[in-house]
């Protein structure tokens, strides 16, 4: 009897091993994506001249920079905005964990406080016209409405669920 069930037992063991392996690969991919985006974040920030990241006394307008500094700032901010747009896309497509998004979102909010963030976005935003969702998100982020927007979406989901349950 045991010998007759051997193929079935072997199949079950193989399926369990396959599932375990797939879960491990998924975890490795998540870690790899997070590490790659963390690396790219660091590279985009290193491209910013240090004095332009000091929020306390740096001017907020790009007009006060000489041509070379202005280009450095805009190139670094373009890289950063590209990264942010990709992160938002990954979040919207549910390709990253919510915990990773929270970390990235908090970082984005912190960066809006940097002196040249808003003026750089104003100058570069037209480059992102093909991704209106990102343009709206960035404007909400700059205006301090992004968190409220997320809270409103959650509230709307609860209202929808509540209405469906009570119909």
* pLDDT per residue as tens digits for the range 99-127: 889 999 999 998 888 888 999 999 999 99
C-alpha angle 134-78-46 in degrees, rounded to nearest 5: 125
Q: Is the pTM of this model over 0.85?
A: no
* Alpha carbon distance 77, 121 (integer Å): 8
Encode pLDDT of 38-71 as tens digits.
787 778 778 777 766 665 666 678 888 889 989 9
Closest CA to 65 of 76, 20, 40: 76
Q: Of 65, 80, 83, which is closest to residue 111 (Cα–Cα)?
A: 80
Which residues span the domain enclosing 66? Answer: 2-165
Q: Total domain count for the chain?
A: 1
More confident residue, 44 or 136: 136
């Amino acid at each position: 009897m045991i010998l007759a069930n051997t193929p079935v037992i072997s199949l079950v063991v193989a399926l369990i091993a396959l599932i375990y392996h797939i879960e491990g690969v998924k975890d490795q991919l998540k870690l790899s994506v997070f590490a790659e985006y963390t690396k790219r974040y660091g590279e985009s920030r290193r491209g910013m001249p240090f004095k332009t990241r000091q929020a306390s006394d740096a001017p907020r307008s790009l007009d006060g920079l000489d041509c070379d500094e202005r280009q450095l700032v805009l190139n670094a901010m373009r890289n950063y905005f590209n990264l942010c747009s990709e992160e938002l896309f990954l979040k919207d497509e549910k390709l990253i964990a919510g915990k990773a998004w929270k970390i990235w979102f908090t970082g984005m909010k912190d960066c809006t406080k940097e002196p040249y963030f808003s003026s750089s976005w104003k100058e570069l935003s037209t480059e992102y016209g093909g991704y209106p969702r990102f343009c709206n998100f960035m404007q909400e982020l700059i205006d301090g409405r992004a968190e409220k927007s997320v809270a409103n979406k959650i509230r709307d989901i609860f209202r929808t669920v509540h209405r469906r349950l009570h119909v």
